[in-house]
Structure 1
Amino acid sequence: MTPLDFCLVGQSLLTDDQYALLCLLVGMATVLGLIIVVRANAFLALIAAAMVVSLMADGAIQDKFSRVAGAFGGTAGGVGIVIALAAVIGKCMLDSGAADRVVRAFMAIFGEKRSPIALMGSGFVLAVPVFFDTVFYLLVPLGRSMFRKTQKNYLLYVMAIATGGAITHTLVPPTPGPLVVADQLNVDKGLMILIGAMIAFPAACAGLWFSSLVNRLMPLPMRPLGAEPEPEAIPDDKLPSLWISLAPVLLPVLLISMNTILTTLADAERAAQLRSGDIADWNSFRGRLQADTAAEGDGTNFGKHVISTIRGDGNDQEREELASLLLQDGSLNDGQKEVALAGLNKYLLLNKDFPKNPDAFLGSRLSSTAQSLARKPVARMSPVEAERMNRETLESVYDDDVIKPHTWETTKRRMANISAMFGDANFALLISAVIAMWTLAVQRELSLKELTTAVEISLMSGGLIILITAAGGAFGAMLTVANVGNAIQNMFPIGSDAESAKLMILVLGFGISAVLKIAQGSSTVAMITSSGMLASLAAPETLGCHPVYLAVSIGAGSLIGSWMNDSGFWIFAKMSGLTEVEALKSWTLLLLVLGTTSFLTALLMAAFLPLV
């Protein structure tokens, strides 16, 4: 029996949901088995799991593996440039002394007595564009230097560094994990930066408090690290200025955040919504619906499709009353028109599946904008985009004297479009990379050849991260093809109650990510896999809150349960001079505090600041 025959037999014996969950279990077993048992590279494990799940999922046999490559390319196209540029920025900041300047600035601000805050703040800022292990390598010598001055609090210093570096590494793009999670859940990267940083801050404070507690309960001496002498500190006059040092970190954050703010303001206009007077001829508008609905035959026409879209599953009284209002005889008074407009905006314009196909709508040619939006995956369509698609669809069906054309390009929208160009993450990181490279060349007096060599070294390390994240994206896409998200949703009592849905799915994301982290050790793999499993649930109408909170919950879960299978565990232990038992008592418990605090903060913000 071939693998394909085995899949067909499984599908015939199981329900759709059971078979989807079987695909999930087989995919997870493939990832964990290859990483834990075979010790395979995460890229090979994830791409193999993607192909296994794709083979099990429905679809033409000739597309089973080619669609994996397509999904891989889609993810790489979305995050590859950003990850590569972040690697260049990190390398150049380290080699030029810019990272060292940032740390010394924090130390000068907070002073020696508050040096743990300075070390935590340095890690917090530097881990945004720089990978955690690099940040820890950079800052540990400073922590050791502080101990030589004070002769106390060594464990507090190294745990403070770990606190700042670990929390932004898992919650704030453009580090790979949160970047891919934001991409897979269709979360604006600027919003992910803002909310991730807001949630990371109280978690970092809790981590610093916990570090102080562990330092009092388990004071440890600073031990020598091998036979190598401690590195000499670079003189201040050999370091770049503070503003030049901070520019590669702050510039992309400012540009991306500005784009998010202006786009949010433009979206708040809801320019595509139907307003009073937009339906200029109610009789003609309703007459088309009434005639189509009364037409004989079972075929679907425009009016029947509109009314069936409004009615939904037929169990909502408000929807039924709206359908009856549109189909009743006689003219509508002003009050009835306002009720009908509100209902059309709510039940028709916000429906992401309203057009029946991307090109034509029951005989009416759609505009290019509506066609483009209709081809967009439902999970990636925002409410504002759904309104625009459906308003364009209505305007394609009706003449201008029935439904007035709307004005999409308002002043705020034009400003948002300009900011979208400069606030694109790829462009923002490119500018930051240029600044970081220029700083390195000037500060270390490098030739163009030497600068090229430094950049190539950073790109080689970033290339592996791109491969892993793209493979994880392909794995997540195949889980979506296998309808895993729908099966998970059907397993849990996620009904119309927005509060219960919100809490259940956020808890689910946190829990799945934590289990995956404990099992295979990589926070990035845990985040990518979890977001792929839950991508189909990442809609405000399902969550009851913005999907950014699901993204942060997944990132928080990826901090839980770091032990001997996590490279971060060994980096912390070996670079700090701690034994395995001491690392379990300090590092592992610290990440438990960081992850739990982040998740609880995300739950509170989702409840009181849902952003929907």
Structure 2
Amino acid sequence: MPEWYAFLILFVGLAVVIGGIVALRVHAFLALITAAVVVSLMAPGEWVDKIPRVAEAFGSTAAGVGVVIALAAIIGGAMTASGAADRVVRMFIDLFGERRGGTALMASGFAIAIPVFFDTVFYLLVPLARSMHRRTGGCYVKYLIAAAASASAHALVPPTPGPLLVANELGVDIGLMMLVGIAVAIPASIVGLMFGSWSDKRMTVAPPAETESTGRHAADDAVYAEIAGDDELPSLAWSLAPIVLPVCLITANTVANAVQLDLPEPAANALAVLGTPNLALLLAAILALVTQQMYRQQSLATIANSVEHALMSGGVIVLITAAGGAFGGMLREAQLAPAIKTAFGETAASGIGLLLLAFAMASLIKFAQGSSTAAMIVTSGMVAAMIQGTSLGYHPVYLCTSIGAGSLVGSWMNDSGFWIFAKMGGLTELQTLRTWTPLLAILGVVAMIMTLLLATAMPMAPPAIP
């Protein structure tokens, strides 16, 4: 098959995805699964296998990420309903104090964003940003930007769907993805907070009008309707457990395997089982639900309904993610890697240049269609197809963080996060373009710089990718 035909298949696949989402406004799942079918029909292979292999790739991706995404959705819903997420936020505020309210909002948002989706995190933090603005008499823009800086964790740290899919697509251990993602995301969030302080001195924004009955903006009531004073919130230990437990179990298993600890066989077996992401997050979900029942005194039927609601939102993400995995699998069937090596040489799919290429591709796709998750899904499929059988010179985890960093850049009016930030924060479109859009670009660029530094200083190069 000539290499130009592989590039034609890639172009057609991208056109179907971006055209479907942007021009036709179809659901991301339909756009991705249609693109997977089209690419599979155009790719080499027996005709009788062309459609079944799409389903096989879909199922393989769902097997890798489906349980984790579903459990993360349950954890996020339970932490919100029980008030555990609110307790974590207040803990950081007590720790840093109101004089460092921006740091407190950034740190709490970063911690909660690991198991909880970004929009929920922002809904939780915006009322506190308004409250601190009232008490300090200023710094509202800084507080809003500090709350939004948690987007770096959303794009770089599993078990949020985007980085989880990217790690699965490139064969990276989830525990390692957590560790490197956190190492890359923390500096990005810190620089984002600095940008918030700079912006606050150059822009005056007043919070939206509050309702006289609650003292909060009406949009906050849906989140805080059942949460009152500190005495009704879960304890700090119960609140942190659903976040700390899975992170510790998964990373402990990853570190033990990486350094080849000589543990007794029973301890090694226990750590291998408990450190599996599916079991670690299942234990965390159980803890989150127990906390919800203990502190909210809800019936089992009510808790079951909340779990069902969380699974409905998580199920949509699983479908989109698995469809993206199918699309990436069909790009590999199109023999894109050999075509790139033939057209541009063996070094085209390796080296630091590939990290920059992955970052640029994710940024362009994000700018075109607005979704960070979709940008990560499409880019990871393309990159995975490009690096088959290639020795990168560094661990593919850095490709994962490059893709995650790129998916932050290029956020504007076609991004749902843009409108969440604008409407919840009470900003105009122009003010949002001056705050949210450069913030996301800064987060992505700093994360990319950290990725390049780590890939150079600690390459951890594995064998060639099969």
Sort the TM-score into its range (normalised by shorter chain). Answer: over 0.9
Alpha-carbon offset, residue 569 of structure 1:
0.7
Specify whether residues 219 and 138 from structure 1 end up closer, same or farther in structure 2 by C-alpha distance, changes over 3 A only.
same
Letter in 2 for 1:204: S
**Contact 2:363 2:375 (8 Å CA) reproduced:** yes
TM-score (norm 1): 0.71
Determine if contact 1:262/1:412 at 8 Å carries over to the other structure.
Answer: no
**Aligned in 2, Cα 1:539/1:605: closer, same or farther, shift over 3 Å?**
farther
Deviation of 1:148 after TM superposition, in Å, equals: 1.3
Residue 414 to residue 479, structure 1, CA distance change in 2 (3 Å): farther
Partner in structure 2 of residue 111 of structure 1: 97
Asked if the contact 1:265/1:412 (under 8 Å) is kept, the reply is no
Q: Classify the secondary structure of the residue corresponding to 1:506.
A: helix
Alpha-carbon deviation of 1:412?
Answer: 7.4
What is the rounded CA distance, in whole Å, between the counterparts of 1:38 and 1:50 in structure 2?
Answer: 17
Deviations 1:58-101 (A, max 9, x none): 11111111111111111111100000000000000001000000
Distance change (3 Å), C-alpha of 1:108 and 1:515: same
Aligned to 1:310: none
Quote the residue 1:293 is aligned against: none
Which residue among 11, 26, 46 is the counterpart of 2:32? Answer: 46
**Partner Cα separation in structure 1 for residue 340 and residue 166 of structure 2:** 18
Bigger mean CA offset, 147-156 vs 472-481:
147-156
1:427 aligns with 2:248: no
Distance change >3 Å, CA 161–CA 568, structure 1 → 2: same
| 1:15-94 matched pairs, under 5 angstroms | 15=2, 17-94=3-80
- Separation of aligned partners in 2, 1:137 and 1:485: 43
Residues 414, 237 of structure 1: alpha-carbon distance in 2 compared, 3 angstrom cutoff: closer
How far, CA to CA, are the matches of 2:353 and 2:343 in structure 1? 11
Give the corresponding residue for 2:180.
195
State the TM-score, normalizing by the size of structure 2.
Answer: 0.93
2:464 matched residue in structure 1: none
Give runs of aligned pairs for residues 272-283 of structure 1, distance below 5 A: none
Q: Which has the larger radius of gyration?
A: 1
Partner residue, 1:469:
321
* Aligned match of 2:158: 173
Where in structure 2 are the equivalents of 1:492-503 lying within 5 Å? Answer: 492-495=344-347, 501-503=350-352
Tell whether the 8 Å contact from 1:178 to 1:555 is kept in structure 2 after alignment. Answer: yes
Distance in 2, matches of 1:521 and 1:54, equals 26
Whether 1:593 and 2:442 are equivalent positions in the alignment is yes
- Name stretches of at least 5 consecutive residues in structure 1 with no aligned partner: 1-10, 269-409
Asked if 1:258 is matched to 2:252, the reply is: yes
Shift of 1:491: 4.4
In the TM superposition, residue 222 of structure 1 has moved relative to its aligned partner by 1.3
Cα deviation for residue 487 of structure 1 reads 2.6
Equivalence for 2:234:
240
CA distance in 1, matches of 2:41, 2:220: 54
Number of aligned residue pairs: give it: 452
Task: Tell whether 2:395 aligns with 1:546.
Answer: yes
| 1:88-487 mapped onto 2 (5 Å cutoff) | 88-164=74-150, 166-224=151-209, 228=218, 231=221, 234-266=228-260, 416-487=268-339
- Please give the secondary structure, in 2, of the residue aligned with 1:495: helix
Using the aligned pairs only, state the percent identity.
Answer: 52
**2: CA distance, partners of 1:487 / 1:149:** 61
- Does the residue aligned with 2:25 lie in a helix, a strand or coil? coil
Change (3 A) 1:53 1:559: same
In structure 2, which of residues 407, 410, 419 is the aligned counterpart of residue 570 of structure 1? 419
Aligned to 2:201, what secondary structure does the other structure show? helix
For the Cα contact (< 8 Å) 1:537–1:543, is it kept in 2?
no
1:228 maps to a residue whose letter is: A
Distance (whole Å) between structure 2 residues aligned to residue 44 and residue 580 of structure 1? 30
State whether residues 199 and 602 of structure 1, in contact with CA within 8 Å, keep that contact through their aligned partners in structure 2.
yes
The answer to whether the 8 A contact 1:476-1:529 is kept is yes
Q: Shift in Å at residue 223 of structure 1?
A: 2.1
Q: Is the 8 A contact 1:494 1:504 kept in 2?
A: no
Kept after mapping to 1: 8 A contact 2:219/2:424: no
SS at match of 1:543: coil
CA separation in 1, counterparts of 2:244 and 2:340?
39
The runs of 5 or more residues in structure 2 that have no matched partner are 212-216, 462-466
User: How far apart are residue 218 of structure 1 and its match?
Assistant: 1.3
Distance verdict in 2 for CA 1:263–1:29, change over 3 Å: same
Q: 1:591 to 1:494 in 2, by over 3 A?
A: farther
